[in-house]
Structure 1
Amino acid sequence: MIEILNVDHFCQAVPDLEKQSDFLQKVLGLLPSKISHQTDFDNQVLSIPGNSRLGWELMSPNTNKSFLHRFLDGPRGPGLHHMTMRVQSIEKTKNQLIELGYEPWGAEGNVVYLHPQKGGQGFLFQFYESNDEDVWYDTEPFTDNEKNTIGIKSVDHIAHAHKNVSGLVDWYQKTFGFSPYNGDSDNTSSGEEFKIGLLQLPSKQLKIEIIAPAHPESFVQKFLNERDTSVHHLTLEVEDWDRAIAALDFHGIRTFGERSNVGAEPLWHEAFIHPKETGGVLLQIFWQAKPGLWE
């Protein structure tokens, strides 16, 4: 098992960095850093409001031969490209990958990867070594008070689509030490459209939702047919539902799949924002009157 200290950031690959950065700032309320120019790509890390202490990196190709074109032109692009986790020892992490039966990829310096098609279950995982004084992304929790932004409270979870819930749940537990959410040993359930498993990091910084099709006509099966095993959506909790919807209306962004609790008083709301509106990532937003009402 790889010993994860924390999730540092996740990365979205897009063809136009400045356009995507503008969306993240003006609609989602992220705070930008300077754009950096690398050998074959440009990148920028933005800070996500709320208490998750996560960064949102953007990458875009700056040459015709950039490796990012393969991703952007493939079935998973544009969209979430990788997730970066901090570890205490990169050498120990390499050995742990080998013990798990995976070949460390791109192993140079204090960074190593788990390849999407060689153990990563359709997603690229990046690991880097650092002490507490040399963290790549580090910020204190902050509140978004800007106008016409949705008011993110936290990053609740990343959803990973797979054909088999229990198989991927077992993989996250054995590979990264994720544990069943709320300590429930029976951490899988089933609905009309999909089966689900919910896990969290030991630090409780982030949850991973595993979704699998409940039948051949499920929308999850359609996703797997088009993109294969990979990240399906990202879920954000918002501070105020009316504010979030008003902000999306202001920017001309429509939601779909809206649901609320059945009852006289609203206890929770949820909706989705199509990847065409977000630069390639399906976003789910929700609000709850108090913790634990929306699950």
Structure 2
Amino acid sequence: MITTLDWDHVSIASSDMKSASIFWQDLFGFEKLGEFHGDDINGATFAMPGRSHIGLEIIEPSGNDSYLRRFLDGPSGPGLHHLAFRVPSIEDAVKELRDSQIEPWGESIDDEGTKYAYIHPRSGGEGVLFQLYEADQAWNVHELFSDEEPGHLGITALNHICHVTASRDSTGDWYEKLFGLTTIWRSDSAESSNDPSRQVDFKSRLLDWPTGQSRIELLEPYGEDSFLHDFLDKRGPGLHHMTFQVSDFDQALNACRDRGINVFGGREGHTRGGHWRETFIHPRDSQGVLVQFFWEDTPGIWI
């Protein structure tokens, strides 16, 4: 099993880093930490509001020959690009990958002594690019902070990242074996996690990352008409959306409407005596990323 010390950041690919950076600061309340510029990509890093202590990275191609240009021009871009984790030992992580019949990709060491290895989406990563790095100090070292700006979404946590797969059980077992995740919920069939009487066109499984910072939600199509078939046919398995918890649902709705953003798929209900509300922001309104946000009046009732 690969030990992870920190879920360091979520990376988003964009053709216009400046525009994307302004958007994630202006609506979501992220705080910019810095920028980096390279021969292949440029990037900006951000601190996320709330308790998750996970950073955001926005990257753009720095030239026409950048590998990121191919990603952006393909079926997956722009949008969620990779997940990054700090590990205690790249050598141990690489050994674990090879013992699991996964050949690591892009092993390297930079001028500062940081060691890297990647799990390729099509070669062992279940459709997701994972960046692993070894360093004495995490890249994402921002202090936890609350976003008190009434014009922002009011994020309190990154609840989960959604990963669409053809088999939630095969992929879920992969996460458990390789990274030590723990399954905390699994639908019996295709019922909603918040309302067992409501049937949906997917089966789900929710796993907690060992660092306790966030979760991975796995969705598998259920039925011939599931919307996830189209996602898998066009993109293959991979990252689907980000889900944030917010402190005030009406504030979050108003923040979207004030910017001309129409949310969709809104629902609300009661679970174990508590009230919750949820909705989505379409990728065309959020720099290529499908965003879900929710509010709950009782901790832990929304899954």
TM-score, normalization: structure 2? 0.92
Correspondences of 1:1-295 after superposition (within 5 Å) = 1-109=1-109, 110-131=115-136, 134-181=137-184, 189-191=189-191, 192-261=200-269, 267-295=275-303
For residues 276 and 207 of structure 2, what CA distance do their matches in structure 1 show?
Answer: 21
Alpha-carbon distance in structure 2 between the residues aligned to 1:147 and 1:157: 24
Do the aligned residues in 2 keep the contact of 1:180 with 1:187 (CA within 8 Å)?
no
Tell me if structure 2 keeps the 8 A contact 1:86–1:130.
yes
Describe the superposition over 1:272-293 as per-residue Cα deviations: whole angstroms up to 9, x where unpaired: 1000011111000000002122
Cα deviation for residue 37 of structure 1 reads 1.3
Aligned residues: 289
Q: Distance in 1 between matches of 2:99 and 2:281?
A: 40
Give 4+ residue runs of structure 1 displaced > 6 Å after superposition.
Answer: none
Shift of 1:189: 4.7
Q: 3-state DSSP class of the match of 1:71?
A: helix
Partner AA of 1:58 in structure 2? I
Deviation per CA, 1:113-165: give whole Å up to 9, x if none: 0001000111100001123xx21111222101224110000000001001111
Counterpart CA distance in 2 for 1:159 and 1:189 is: 18
Matching residue's letter, 1:121: E
Cα distance in 1 for partners of 2:277, 2:230 equals: 26
Q: 1:267 to 1:43 in 2, by over 3 A?
A: same
- Aligned partner of residue 83 in structure 2, secondary structure: strand
**Whole-angstrom CA distance in 1 between matches of 2:207 and 2:43:** 30
Gaps in structure 2 of 5+ consecutive residues: 110-114, 192-199
Tell me by how many angstroms 1:262 deviates: 5.4
Question: Match of 2:5, SS?
Answer: strand
Match of 1:33, SS? strand
Q: Which amino acid aligns with 2:79?
A: G
**Matching residue's letter, 1:119:** G
Segments of 5+ residues of structure 1 without an aligned counterpart are: none
> Any conservation in 2 of the 1:187–1:197 contact (CA below 8 Å)?
yes
Shift of 1:226: 1.6
Task: Tell me if structure 2 keeps the 8 A contact 1:7–1:84.
Answer: yes
User: Hey, what's the Cα distance between the residues in 1 that align with 2:135 and 2:33?
Assistant: 21
2: CA distance, partners of 1:261 / 1:158: 22
Residue 111 of structure 1 aligns to a residue whose secondary structure is: strand
The residue type paired with residue 11 of structure 1 is: S
Distance 1:239 1:266 in 2: 15
Q: Aligned-pair distance for 1:72?
A: 0.4
The one-letter code sitting in structure 1 at the alignment partner of 2:170 is G
1:193-241 Cα offsets, whole Å, 9 max, x none, are 1000010112221110000001121011121112110111110000111
SS in 2 for 1:2: coil
- Structure 2 CA distance, aligned partners of 1:262 and 1:10? 31
Distance 1:279 1:3 in 2: 32
Distance 2:162 2:220 in 1: 10
TM-score by length of 1: 0.94
Would you say the 8 A contact 1:188–1:198 is kept in 2? no
Distance of 2:180 and 2:289 partners within structure 1: 26
Residue identity matched to 1:235? T
Q: CA deviation at 1:294?
A: 1.1
Distance 1:63 1:289 in 2: 47
- CA deviation profile, 1:37-74 (whole Å, cap 9, x unmatched): 11122100111100000100000012111110111011
